[in-house]
Chains A and B, each alone.
Chain A
Amino acid sequence: MTALDAVPLLDSLCCARLLSATAAVAICAPLAGIAGAQLAGARHNPRLPAGWSLATALAAALTLAWGWRSGPGQEVLLGPQLAGGSLVHLDGLTAILLPLVALLSLAIVLVAPRRAVTVGGVTRLLAGAALTTALMTTSHPVVLVILWVASLLPTWLSTRATPGGRPTARVYALMMILGSVLFAVGVGLLALDPPWAPQAGPAGAAGGWLVTLAVMIRKGIVPFHSWYPALFTAAPMSAALAATMPQVASYAAVRLLVGHADGVAAELVVLSQAALVTAAYGAALAVVQRDVRGLVGTLALSQSAMVLAGLSGGLPMELCGALAVWVSSGLALTGIGLVAWALESRAGVLGLESPQGRFADAPALAAFFLLFGLASLGFPGTLSFVADDLIVAGSLGDQPHAGVLVIVATVACGIAVVRGWFRIFGGLATPDAPRHQILRRERVPLGLLLAVLFGLGLWPGPFVQSLEQVAALLLNSRHAAPATALPGDHP
Chain B
Amino acid sequence: MILALPSAHDLATGLIVAQIAAPAATLLALGLPALLGRPPSERATTRAVSAGFGLTFLAALVSLAVGAARGFPVEVVHLGTLFAVGHHAATVELVADGLSIPYVCFSTGLCSLVNAFAGRYLHREPGFTRFFILLVLFGFGMNLLVLAGSIDVLFAGWECVGVSSTFLIGFFHERRTAGAAALRAFVTYRICDVGLLAAGVVIHHAVGSGDFGHVFAGAWPTATCLVPVATAVPASLLLVFAALGKSAQLPFSGWLPRAMEGPTPSSAIFYGALSIHAGAYLLLRCAPLLDAAPAVAWLLVAIGLGTAIHAAVVGSVQTDLKAMLAYASMTQAGLILAEIGLGWRVVPLVHVISHAILRSLQILRSPSALHDRHELSAALGGPPGQGESLLLRLLPAGLRATLYRIALERGFEDALVGRFVVAPVLAALEAAAEFERRLVARLGGSQDVADEWHRDRGAE
* Contact call A425/B186, Cβ cutoff below 8 A: no
* Contact call B178/A426, Cβ cutoff below 8 A: yes
- B341-360 CB mask vs A (1 if < 8 Å, else 0) is 00000000000000000000
Interface secondary structure of B, over-half rule: helix
A184–B63 Cα gap in the complex (Å)?
67
Given contacts A288-B433, A289-B433, A443-B36, contact A381 B156 (CB under 8 A): yes
A294–B433 Cα gap in the complex (Å)?
10
Among A242-301, those with CB < 8 Å from B are 281, 284-285, 287-291, 294
* Contact call A464/B83, Cβ cutoff below 8 A: yes
* Contact call A171/B194, Cβ cutoff below 8 A: no
* Residue in A163, A281, A290, A422 whose beta carbon sits within 8 Å of that of B457 in the complex: A163
* Contact call B439/A167, Cβ cutoff below 8 A: no
A381–B205 Cα gap in the complex (Å)?
23
Among B80-126, those with CB < 8 Å from A are 81-86, 88, 90
Given contacts A164-B456, A234-B449, A285-B429, contact A461 B441 (CB under 8 A): no
Among B190-208, those with CB < 8 Å from A are 190-191, 193-194, 197-198, 201, 204-205
- A13-21, A63-71, A193-201, A389-397: which one contacts chain B? A389-397
Report if B443 contacts A (CB, 8 A): yes
Report if B159 contacts A (CB, 8 A): yes
* Contact call A460/B83, Cβ cutoff below 8 A: yes
Give chain B residues whose Cβ lies under 8 Å from the Cβ of A163. Answer: 453, 456-457, 459-460
Report if A207 contacts B (CB, 8 A): no
Report if A41 contacts B (CB, 8 A): no
* Residue in B86, B174, B178, B444 whose beta carbon sits within 8 Å of that of A317 in the complex: B86
A234–B160 Cα gap in the complex (Å)?
36
- A364-387 CB mask vs B (1 if < 8 Å, else 0) is 100110110010000111000110
* Contact call B86/A380, Cβ cutoff below 8 A: no
Report if A403 contacts B (CB, 8 A): yes
Give chain B residues whose Cβ lies under 8 Å from the Cβ of A429. Answer: 174
Give chain A residues whose Cβ lies under 8 Å from the Cβ of B159. Answer: 379-380
Report if B219 contacts A (CB, 8 A): no
- For residue B358, give the distance in angstroms from its CB to the closest CB of chain A: 32
Give chain A residues whose Cβ lies under 8 Å from the Cβ of B85. Answer: 316-317, 320, 390, 394, 464, 467-468
Give chain A residues whose Cβ lies under 8 Å from the Cβ of B155. Answer: 380
* Contact call A285/B454, Cβ cutoff below 8 A: no
- A447-474 CB mask vs B (1 if < 8 Å, else 0) is 1000000000000110010011000000
* Contact call A349/B443, Cβ cutoff below 8 A: no
- For residue B235, give the distance in angstroms from its CB to the closest CB of chain A: 14
Report if B326 contacts A (CB, 8 A): no
Given contacts A171-B440, A233-B450, A396-B201, contact A418 B457 (CB under 8 A): no
* Contact call A392/B179, Cβ cutoff below 8 A: no
* Contact call B457/A171, Cβ cutoff below 8 A: no
Report if B52 contacts A (CB, 8 A): no
Report if A355 contacts B (CB, 8 A): yes
Given contacts A289-B433, A396-B204, contact A167 B444 (CB under 8 A): yes
A165–B36 Cα gap in the complex (Å)?
36
Closest to A319 in B: B85
Report if A487 contacts B (CB, 8 A): no
Given contacts A171-B440, A226-B443, A393-B204, contact A418 B88 (CB under 8 A): no
- A427-441 CB mask vs B (1 if < 8 Å, else 0) is 111000000011000
Given contacts A163-B457, A348-B457, A380-B159, contact A390 B186 (CB under 8 A): no
* Contact call B86/A164, Cβ cutoff below 8 A: no
Give chain A residues whose Cβ lies under 8 Å from the Cβ of B174. Answer: 357, 359, 426-429
Give chain B residues whose Cβ lies under 8 Å from the Cβ of A381. Answer: 156
* Contact call B445/A407, Cβ cutoff below 8 A: no
Give chain B residues whose Cβ lies under 8 Å from the Cβ of A447. Answer: 35-36
Give chain A residues whose Cβ lies under 8 Å from the Cβ of B187. Answer: 415
Report if A346 contacts B (CB, 8 A): no
Among A123-171, those with CB < 8 Å from B are 162-168, 170-171
Given contacts A167-B444, A380-B155, A386-B83, contact A438 B90 (CB under 8 A): no
* Contact call A164/B453, Cβ cutoff below 8 A: yes
Report if A341 contacts B (CB, 8 A): no
Give chain A residues whose Cβ lies under 8 Å from the Cβ of B460. Answer: 163
- A341-370 CB mask vs B (1 if < 8 Å, else 0) is 000000011000001010100001001101
Given contacts A234-B453, A422-B183, contact A227 B440 (CB under 8 A): yes
Give chain B residues whose Cβ lies under 8 Å from the Cβ of A83. Answer: none
* Residue in B173, B436, B440 whose beta carbon sits within 8 Å of that of A427 in the complex: B173
* Contact call A380/B156, Cβ cutoff below 8 A: yes
The count of chain A contact residues (Cβ–Cβ below 8 Å) is 76
Give chain B residues whose Cβ lies under 8 Å from the Cβ of A370. Answer: 167
Give chain B residues whose Cβ lies under 8 Å from the Cβ of A317. Answer: 85-86, 88
* Contact call A407/B179, Cβ cutoff below 8 A: no
- For residue A321, give the distance in angstroms from its CB to the closest CB of chain B: 8
Report if A315 contacts B (CB, 8 A): yes
Closest to B86 in A: A317
Closest to A437 in B: B37
Report if B371 contacts A (CB, 8 A): no
Report if A230 contacts B (CB, 8 A): yes
Closest to B166 in A: A418
Give chain A residues whose Cβ lies under 8 Å from the Cβ of B182. Answer: 418, 422
Closest to B185 in A: A418
* Contact call A174/B443, Cβ cutoff below 8 A: yes
Among B34, B159, B173, B182: residue with most chain A CB under 10 A: B173
* Contact call A411/B179, Cβ cutoff below 8 A: no
- For residue A158, give the distance in angstroms from its CB to the closest CB of chain B: 14
- B137-158 CB mask vs A (1 if < 8 Å, else 0) is 0000000000000001001100
- For residue B91, give the distance in angstroms from its CB to the closest CB of chain A: 12
- For residue B188, give the distance in angstroms from its CB to the closest CB of chain A: 10
* Contact call A170/B453, Cβ cutoff below 8 A: no
A348–B457 Cα gap in the complex (Å)?
9
* Contact call B37/A285, Cβ cutoff below 8 A: no
* Residue in A170, A357, A380, A464 whose beta carbon sits within 8 Å of that of B443 in the complex: A170
Report if A229 contacts B (CB, 8 A): yes
- B412-435 CB mask vs A (1 if < 8 Å, else 0) is 000000000000001001101100
Report if B67 contacts A (CB, 8 A): no
Give chain B residues whose Cβ lies under 8 Å from the Cβ of A414. Answer: 186, 190
Give chain B residues whose Cβ lies under 8 Å from the Cβ of A167. Answer: 440-441, 444-446, 449, 452
Closest to A471 in B: B85
Report if B55 contacts A (CB, 8 A): no
Give chain A residues whose Cβ lies under 8 Å from the Cβ of B429. Answer: 284-285, 287-288
A385–B34 Cα gap in the complex (Å)?
24
Closest to B133 in A: A367
* Contact call B37/A392, Cβ cutoff below 8 A: no
Give chain B residues whose Cβ lies under 8 Å from the Cβ of A287. Answer: 429
| 5 closest residue pairs by CB, A with B | A167-B444, A164-B456, A380-B156, A426-B179, A167-B446
Supply 12 further A-B pairs (C-beta < 8 A) apart from A294-B450, A460-B83: A166-B444, A227-B440, A227-B443, A364-B37, A385-B156, A396-B201, A407-B198, A415-B187, A418-B182, A418-B183, A426-B176, A438-B37
22 A–B pairs (Cβ distance < 8 Å), ordered by A: A163-B460, A167-B440, A167-B444, A167-B445, A168-B453, A170-B445, A226-B439, A234-B453, A289-B433, A291-B450, A364-B35, A370-B167, A380-B160, A385-B156, A396-B205, A407-B201, A411-B190, A418-B182, A426-B173, A426-B179, A460-B83, A461-B81
Spell out B's residues near A (CB within 8 Å).
34-37, 81-86, 88, 90, 152, 155-156, 159-160, 163, 166-167, 170, 173-174, 176, 178-180, 182-183, 186-187, 190-191, 193-194, 197-198, 201, 204-205, 426, 429-430, 432-433, 436, 439-441, 443-446, 449-450, 452-460
